[in-house]
Amino acid sequence: MVEGGADGTGGLGSGVQRAQAFLVLATLLYRASHLLVGVAAVARHQAGRPVSWAVLATALGCSVLVHGAARRRGWFDRRAVVLDVLVTGCALPFAAYAWADTRDAPSIAWVMLLGGSSSAVAAIALRRWAALVSVLAVGAAHLVGYGMADAQVAVTVGHLNAVASSAAIALVFWWYLRRQGRLLDAATAQAVRAEAESARYAERIAHHRALHDTVLATLTAIAQGNVDANSSGVRDRCAREADYLRRLVQQSDEEAEGDPAPGRLGAGAALEDAVRDAEDLGLRVTTRYHALPALPSDVATGFGDAVREALNNVLRHAGTGRAYLTATGDDGHLLVTVVDRGAGFGPERAAATSGLGLRRSVHARMRDIGGAAEVDSAPGEGTCVTLRWPG
C-alpha cells in the first residue's frame, strides 16, 4: 500500500510517497544493472545455450512483474516480491546449473548476481520477518549453488556479503528516506495550518472593520438620536446591513467545515465582495449560500468579477432595485445564479447590444477561468444569469 495522503503539494504526493517512488526507481536501476551483466555474459560466453537465454528471459519477466507493479501502485506488491525471491533469487541458479551447463563459478556468476537486487527489494517491501527469511533463503540457495560449482571460499563469502549488504543498504536507505518524508509531511502540515490561521485572522479583521463601519455605525447613530429611525433611508440601510449580517453568518457556517488549501480562496469571500460593491450602489441583494468550495485564487477572482458585472447589469438595465443570488457547491464545483424580476430583454437585444456587459464581461470572464455562463431572459419576465465552474 502507498503510505501518506494528499497534502496540497500540487500533485507531487506526500514526502513518504516521494521516498517510495525514489526507492522503486533505485531498485529498478539496480536490477537493470544486473540484467545488463547477464545479457553481456550470455551473449559472449553462452550464446549457443538456449537455456541460458531462457533463464535470462525469466529473470527479465520477474523484474517487469515486480517493478512494473511498483511503478503503477506507487509501492511494491508483496506477492510479486515473494515470487521474485523464489524464482530469481533461489530457483534460477539451480536451473542454470542443471540445464545450461554452467558448472563453474565464472559461468554461473551472472545468475548469482541477480540475487543481490532480489534481496534488496525483499528487505524494503516485505514485513520484518518475511524480509529476513527471504534474504536468508537467497543466501542459502547461493551458498549451495556456489558449493556445487566448486567456487573458492573467498568468492562464496564475497558473494554472500553482497547479498546481505544489498539488503542492509536498501533497508537503511528506506528507513532514512521514510523518516525524512514524514518530517517533511509534518512541516508541510504545520505550514498549511499556520497559513490557514493567518487567513482566518485577516478575514476576522476585515469583518470587524466592516461591522464597525456599517452595522455598528448605524446602531450608534440611532441610539444617539442623530437620525430618524423611521425614515426610509435609515430603514433601507438597516435592511442592507441585516442582509450583510445574514451572509456573514452563512459564510461562517460554511467555512467552519474546512479551511482552504494554500493557493485557494473560499468562494464566499469573492461573492461577498461583489455583493457589497453592488449594495454600495444601491442594489438590494438577497443571497443564499450552500456548501461553497475553495477555489483556485484566479478562479475565485474571475468568478467574483463575473458576478459583479451580472449585478451591475441589474442596476443598469433591469429597472429594479433588488436581485437574488444563490450559490451552491458540489464536489469542488460551483453554481451561481443571479436573478432579477425586472424588465428583461429579448435575445435579439442581447446579441445587438454590447453595452449589456454580458458578452464581454460575463461570458468572457467565465471562459477565461474555464467556466461557462448562460443567460435566460424575456421582456417583462426578468433575467436569470447562471454561472458554472468548471464549465
Based on the domain organization, do 48 and 179 belong to the same domain? yes
Among 30-39, 147-156, 374-383, name the most confident range.
30-39
Q: Read off the pLDDT of each residue in 235-264 and give the average, rounded to a whole number.
A: 62
pLDDT band at residue 37, thresholds of 50, 70 and 90? very high
- The pLDDT value given to residue 24: 93
Residue 349's CATH number: 3.30.565.10
- Select from 323, 318, 327, 321 the least CA-distant residue to 381: 318
Percent of the chain whose predicted confidence (pLDDT) is above 70: 83
pLDDT band at residue 5, thresholds of 50, 70 and 90? very low
For residue 194, tell me if it sits in a domain.
no
Q: How far apart are CA 339 and CA 323, in angstroms?
A: 6
Based on the domain organization, do 179 and 267 belong to the same domain? no
Q: Read off the pLDDT of each residue in 84-111 and give the average, rounded to a whole number.
A: 89
User: Between 117 and 281, where is the model more confident?
Assistant: 117
Domain closes at, from 138, 165, 188: 188
Based on the domain organization, do 167 and 74 belong to the same domain? yes
User: Between 376 and 7, where is the model more confident?
Assistant: 376
pLDDT band at residue 199, thresholds of 50, 70 and 90? low
DSSP-assigned beta bridge partners for residue 323: 285
For the cut 80, the answer to whether the pLDDT of residue 306 exceeds it is yes
For residue 117, tell me if it sits in a domain.
yes
- The pLDDT value given to residue 228: 76
Within 10 angstroms of residue 59's Cβ, the number of other Cβ atoms is: 24
For the cut 70, the answer to whether the pLDDT of residue 9 exceeds it is no
Q: How far apart are CA 228 and CA 19, in angstroms?
A: 69
Based on the domain organization, do 144 and 20 belong to the same domain? yes
For the cut 60, the answer to whether the pLDDT of residue 369 exceeds it is yes
For residue 227, tell me if it sits in a domain.
no
Within 10 angstroms of residue 74's Cβ, the number of other Cβ atoms is: 16
Based on the domain organization, do 166 and 270 belong to the same domain? no
Q: Is 274 left (phi over 0), alpha (psi -120 to 50) or beta?
A: alpha
Which string of b and e fits 160-196 if b means at least 16 CB within 10 Å? bebbbebbeebbebbeebbeebbebbeebeeebeebe
- The pLDDT value given to residue 114: 92
pLDDT digits 0-9 by tens, 266-276: 678 788 888 88
pLDDT digits 0-9 by tens, 54-75: 999 999 999 999 999 999 988 9
- pLDDT-wise least confident of 1-5, 108-112, 131-135, 154-158: 1-5
For residue 348, tell me if it sits in a domain.
yes
Evaluate whether 41 touches 106 at the Cβ level (below 8 Å): no
pLDDT digits 0-9 by tens, 214-234: 677 777 777 777 777 777 777
Based on the domain organization, do 175 and 56 belong to the same domain? yes
Amino acid at 272: E
Q: Read off the pLDDT of each residue in 364-384 and give the average, rounded to a whole number.
A: 90
For residue 10, tell me if it sits in a domain.
no
For residue 238, tell me if it sits in a domain.
no
Domain closes at, from 143, 165, 188: 188
Number of domains in the chain: 2
- Select from 3, 129, 1, 107 the least CA-distant residue to 55: 107
For the chain, the average pLDDT equals: 83
Cα→Cα distances 114→57, 62, 129, 249, Å: 13, 11, 22, 66
pLDDT digits 0-9 by tens, 140-194: 999 998 989 888 999 999 989 999 999 999 999 999 999 998 898 888 888 877 8
Place of cell 438577497: 286
User: Between 157 and 249, where is the model more confident?
Assistant: 157
256: exposed, middle or buried (Cβ count in 10 Å: 0-12, 13-18, 19+): exposed
Domain closes at, from 188, 210, 229: 188
Q: How far apart are CA 242 and CA 161, in angstroms?
A: 79
For the cut 90, the answer to whether the pLDDT of residue 346 exceeds it is no
Give pTM, 2 decimals: 0.55
- pLDDT-wise least confident of 164-168, 242-246, 298-302, 350-354: 350-354
For residue 151, tell me if it sits in a domain.
yes
262: exposed, middle or buried (Cβ count in 10 Å: 0-12, 13-18, 19+): middle
For residue 357, tell me if it sits in a domain.
yes
- The pLDDT value given to residue 203: 65
- The pLDDT value given to residue 100: 81
Amino acid at 181: G
Which residues touch 331 (CB under 8 Å, ≥6 apart)?
none
* Residue 172 lies in domain: 15-188
